[in-house]
Structure 1
Amino acid sequence: MQKLPLWRTPLARLYDSRKRILVTGGAGFIGSHLIDRLLEQGHEVICADNLFTGSKRNIEHLHGHTRFEFMRHDVTFPLFVEVDEIYNLACPASPIHYQHDPVQTTKTSVHGAINMLGLAKRLKCKVFQASTSEVYGDPSVHPQPEEYWGNVNPIGPRSCYDEGKRCAETLFFDYHRQHGTEIKVARIFNTYGPRMHHADGRVVSNFIVQALRGEPITIYGNGQQTRSFCYVDDLVEGFIRLMDTDSAVAGPINLGNPGEFTIRELAEKTIAMTGSKSELVERPLPVDDPKQRQPDIAKARAQLNWEPSIALEEGLARTIAYFRTVLPELVEA
């Protein structure tokens, strides 16, 4: 029997150490994994999600759990609950989804931040913001440290997400300075794993789905642009370590895997691991698509004692296994 790492082992907790925690966007890919971890630690969790990109499938295994509660709610409207901590993950995160309704995407980032910060201010509790490496735009500094201010197009098709998240960070730090709100801001780099949406347009899910279906694998540009891929379990561990730091550590802190791969390398690895006969097909590069993306995680190592432990091959194998079970045509086959 495989031994679980310590942080994956359900912990017995004293009643007075149990927290009531709100996770917005909790029915999403990353949010649902975070909720699993928090429940394993013995906490009570309220999941708030409007299900625009989240799915009840991601949390259906929690149906009937005595410490879990689902609330269908849009964070652009105020939420009145009593909790000890808040993780704000609500926002569509893939270009296909956030460009579908760009005004609503900006509202989700900005109004959502205002509403969650207002709640944290009233409750005098910690509030976590899931920011993004997209705040760096198409970076002119590589790898990207937290001190880099970014190279972002404020009026392009991606700006609803990029600038929305940048504004959310502004609000978090202004609440911190003006009201003393205890904040934690993490900048998330490319993350993958089970429960990714099969049609979200992200590179890992795209490649796996296309390979499993035997379809041509779409590469934008010549495939030499680079990304760094972090497995979701590693990311969630970083979230919790950041939230558990003292008030002096506010962030922003990069959370991602510094291992850097070209998109073409990822496609070839996916074909090999799935045993697919798919061929690579090049398409024009999308507007403002970053050419390089790699986190500098020196702060995470120093302040959180955190770094990723799951290699790309291992994480891809788990993710491929997940998609084999959820793609209808593969299940039927």
Structure 2
Amino acid sequence: MNQLGPNPPVKDILLILVGLGALAGGGELLVRAAVTLGLRAGLSSLVTGLTIVALGTSAPELAVSIDAALVGSPGIAIGNVVGSNFANIALVLAISAILLPIDIEPFVLRRDLPVMLLGFAAIAGTLLPDGRIGTLEGLLLLSALLVYVVWVVRVSRRRQAGGINIDVAGDIAARESLPGVLARLAGGILLLSLGGHWLVEGAVHIAARLGVSEALIGMTVVAVGTSLPEITASVISILRGHGSMAVGNIVGSNIWNTFCVLGTAAAITPLPRGDVSVAMLGIMAAAGVALWIFCATSRQINRLEGAALLAGYIGCQAWLFS
């Protein structure tokens, strides 16, 4: 492994930290503004939550992967999605389950988990045969997401969408001025764009200094950074006694990461596999299968299973950097 230069990469570290801050702030502004606009336009809380709020949780990953694809760093674009999916399960859900055992809603087991695993299989199925995710595959991923959203909306109309919290946006929708909402929307998009660019630039430079692949940096440093909103939301859900909401949020985030983030990036420009290894894809798939087994056997993720997932995450990170 190459050694760092004589000067510590302070600029690159600052770029990553500032980029993460911009992504967090931009995602918050985007979600609040978009939800308010949706409610003002007459969209139901259910449809708004299942589309705008769900997309908002994956906004940092989307900004990073699009920027990485455009600047010619497909390893970060793909590694970010693969690593974020892995971190959501083996880090975010693991910590949540250690704090408090999580009960699994039946619809998550029957509907969302299979779709998530199908998405994981789709990533491997498109990358491994010809070594790339092309524009056509990207459009197919986006089409599959559209089918999933329509399906979920139709099914969820028969039940309360209690897992989606947009009360704050609903309260302000009627009284906030339209120019203020549009300014917030524009600010969110700008921060996401800048944050994604800064994070990718810092990550690429650090990967070069360390002599490691961009895919590895994308799967570790970048992925954990873009998963911070999920970590915060899940821990808050657990502390408030809404553990099942944490599972739904994480599984839903992984679905949007796979079909929306990767699909959009590939639709813009084809993504060659590059240095994304079979082991990286296998780690993500193994975490998904382990989650399904835990959920199917006891309809709960207990503290021991959470600890096992977290140990697996730490072990895999150590192995990848070894």
Q: TM-score, normalised by structure 2?
A: 0.28
Relative contact order, CA 8 A, sep 6+: which one is greater? 2
User: Which structure features the higher share of helix residues?
Assistant: 2
Q: TM-score, normalised by structure 1?
A: 0.28
